[in-house]
Amino acid sequence: MRIVVTTIMKDESPEFIERWVESAFDADELVLADTGSTNGAVECALDLRVTVHRIDIRPWRFDVARNAALALLSPEADIVVKLDVDEVLLPGWREALEAAPPSERYSYRYIWNHKEDGTPDIEFSADHTHARFGWMWEHPVHESLRSNPRGERSIVYVPGMTIEHIADDTKSRGQYLELLAQAVMEDPTNDRMAHYYARELFFRGQWVVSRAEFVRHLSLPTSVWAAERAQSYRYLAKMDTYPERWLLKAAAEDPGRREVWVDLMNLSLKNGEEMQAMGYAARALAIQQRTGDYMSESAAWDDFALRNVLDGVGPDTAS
């Protein structure tokens, strides 16, 4: 099995490039497609014996850049691991991948961020490891893989393979809103892009437009994933003076998700409704299986805090 680890980059710091190379050292080849670095990133990567291609994408969009980078990989590669420069492969990844049943696409544990004590916060299953041929990227930003030609293909989960995201806080997200607006314009029926666009508008404080886009997301015929529908209701709650109605809708959409019940518990505590908060804490504790999606939050799995509320300790000590 010949494995290539690759991604696109621009103006990455030497520290991040060195960490990326060290984590992926067990790959047969490391390939970076540079999209216009001027800070010495290319020279740093070359010094570390990384294969570097220079590509120029105009107008900029992530899917086109990733597809250009994919096309430059050797046809002799069997498996492609997409690993951004702000991500690292944890030890044992190659052995785990080689031990997995043969597949056209693989998923694995992905740690998105960490709590203050360094332990994982949001983690889920990601699936950006795939066969060399038969795949392409789509959407200008928050791009995703799809089979080419389009169709359903099975995904094999790889126990023991973990990718950890270590965010570079100096990187700007300034282009995301424009690219998401482009994505929604290109495909107004795409529920995933609608949700991400509404979320980005929320992050930018454009709440009037954000509310309208979340409502549109919920109205789309393609919007059938309960977890993401519940998330849209949770965001609507954040922008409403009376959030309870939206949180109850979220709970109705996805009652097996702790996060919503914890939201309702915290709202009840804030409103001085301790008995109601205890009921919501009980509902949360009754859910024992953590969801494996990007909306799973470690705070919802703090059983000690939930039991404090259930025991009537109160909001000051149940944090």
**Are residue 10 and residue 115 in the same domain, yes or no?**
yes
**Are residue 124 and residue 27 in the same domain, yes or no?**
yes
**Are residue 12 and residue 117 in the same domain, yes or no?**
yes
**Are residue 7 and residue 127 in the same domain, yes or no?**
yes
- Please report whether residue 215 resides in a domain: no
CATH of the domain at 272: 1.25.40
- Please report whether residue 183 resides in a domain: no
Q: Please check whether residue 187 is in contact with residue 193, taking contact to mean a CB–CB distance below 8 angstroms.
A: yes
Which pair of structure tokens corresponds to residue 107? Answer: 């998923």
CATH of the domain at 55: 3.90.550.10
Query: In total, how many domains does the chain have?
Result: 2
Residue ranges of the chain with per-residue pLDDT less than 50: 315-319
**Are residue 155 and residue 9 in the same domain, yes or no?**
yes
Tokens 């520290």 appear where?
A: 15
Nearest to 9 by CA among 179, 171, 134: 171
Task: Report how far residue 95's alpha carbon sits from residue 134's, in angstroms, rounded to the nearest whole number.
Answer: 24
> In this predicted structure, what is the pLDDT of residue 312?
83
Nearest to 96 by CA among 109, 83, 113, 87: 109
**Are residue 140 and residue 42 in the same domain, yes or no?**
yes
- Please report whether residue 182 resides in a domain: no
- Please report whether residue 226 resides in a domain: no
Task: Report how far residue 282's alpha carbon sits from residue 129's, in angstroms, rounded to the nearest whole number.
Answer: 39
CB atoms within 10 A of CB 183: 24
The model's pTM: 0.92
Q: Please check whether residue 111 is in contact with residue 14, taking contact to mean a CB–CB distance below 8 angstroms.
A: no
73-87 pLDDT, tens per residue? Answer: 999 999 999 999 999
Task: Report how far residue 115's alpha carbon sits from residue 62's, in angstroms, rounded to the nearest whole number.
Answer: 29
Please say which residue of 111, 131, 165 terminates a domain.
Answer: 165
**Are residue 112 and residue 257 in the same domain, yes or no?**
no
Tokens 């309702």 appear where?
A: 264
Which secondary structure element, helix H or strand E, spans residue 67, and what is its range? Answer: helix 62-71
The range of the structural domain enclosing residue 265 comes to 247-319
Collect all residues with Cβ–Cβ distance below 8 Å to 185 and sequence separation of at least 6. none
CB atoms within 10 A of CB 21: 21
- Please report whether residue 14 resides in a domain: yes
> In this predicted structure, what is the pLDDT of residue 318?
41
Please say which residue of 165, 189, 214 terminates a domain.
Answer: 165
